[in-house]
Structure 1
Amino acid sequence: MPRYDFRCRACGDTFELNRPMAESSAPATCPQGHRDTVKLLSTVAVTGRGGGAPSAPPSGGCCGGGGCG
């Protein structure tokens, strides 16, 4: 189930709620009971099992190896 971040405009508290995507835009009440909240834009970090960034092509010279003269 997705997690959504909210900030309370009344007390400034930030909090998270787990709710279905169908309820993503539903109003939220902060843990202190205030109803004036705003949903925050969340960032997502995507990581993979690859070996990092792809290797760069060879550099140097007109043919990529630096041996052209």
Structure 2
Amino acid sequence: MPRYEFRCRACGDTFEVNRSMAAAGEPASCPQGHADTVKLLSAVAVTGRSGAPAPAGGGGCCGGACGC
């Protein structure tokens, strides 16, 4: 289930809520009981290893052709 991050405008706390994507736009009350909250835009970083080695021979800004 996706996790959404909210910030309370009344007390400034940031908190997370687990809910379905269908309910993503619904308001959330902060743990302190305040109702004036805003959903934050979260950046997702996905990392991992594919098992394939990195290509050899530069790369740089233009695939190694510029000599940088």
Offset at residue 3 of structure 1 (A) = 0.2
Take 1:53 and 1:44, find their aligned partners in 2: how far apart are those partners? 24
Aligned match of 1:11: 11
Aligned match of 1:29: 29
The runs of 5 or more residues in structure 1 that have no matched partner are 65-69
Describe the shift of the 1:52–1:34 C-alpha distance in structure 2 as closer, same or farther (beyond 3 A): farther
1:1-69 → structure 2 map (5 Å cutoff): 1-50=1-50, 54-57=54-57
The runs of 5 or more residues in structure 2 that have no matched partner are 60-64
Offset at residue 51 of structure 1 (A) = 5.2
Offset at residue 53 of structure 1 (A) = 7.8
Take 1:29 and 1:52, find their aligned partners in 2: how far apart are those partners? 46
Q: Report % sequence identity.
A: 68
CA RMSD of aligned residues (A): 2.5
Q: TM-score, normalised by structure 2?
A: 0.75
Q: TM-score, normalised by structure 1?
A: 0.74
Which of the two has higher C-alpha Rg? 1
Which amino acid letter does the alignment assign opposite residue 55 of structure 2? S
Offset at residue 49 of structure 1 (A) = 1.8
